[in-house]
């Protein structure tokens, strides 16, 4: 998978320790479709499902993103091409 990641601490300005922040950038039709498939496989936890749904909504806003979703569906992954919510329906 072609990706870049960054991690840093976000200071909230209170007496608590900083929150960790991870930024993941995935580029390319094949790699984006693989990431989305990964987030929707198996028995994902609630937070993972929410993240997966958010990413699907963001990806669908762009032509190349929609192409990644079509590729995922074409190769046996979940089909998000017609679902505006980004939820998995089989």
pLDDT digits (tens, 9 = 90+) for 24-83: 899 999 989 988 888 888 777 888 888 888 888 888 898 888 898 999 999 999 999 886
The answer to whether 24 and 3 have CB atoms below 8 angstroms apart is yes
pLDDT at residue 45 in the model: 81
The answer to whether 37 and 85 have CB atoms below 8 angstroms apart is no
DSSP for 22-58, please give it: EEEEE-SHHHHHHHHHHHTSSS--HHHHHHHHHHHHH
Q: How confident is the model at residue 90 (pLDDT cuts 50, 70, 90)?
A: very low
pTM of the model: 0.64
């Amino acid at each position: 998978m072609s990706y870049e990641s960054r991690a840093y601490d976000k200071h909230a300005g209170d007496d608590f320790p900083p929150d960790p922040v991870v930024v993941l950038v995935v580029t390319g039709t094949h790699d984006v479709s693989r990431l989305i498939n990964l987030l929707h496989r198996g028995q994902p936890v609630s937070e993972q499902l929410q993240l997966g749904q958010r990413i699907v909504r963001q990806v669908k806003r762009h032509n190349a993103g929609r192409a990644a979703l079509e590729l995922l569906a074409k190769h046996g992954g979940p089909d998000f091409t017609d679902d505006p919510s980004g939820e998995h329906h089989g």
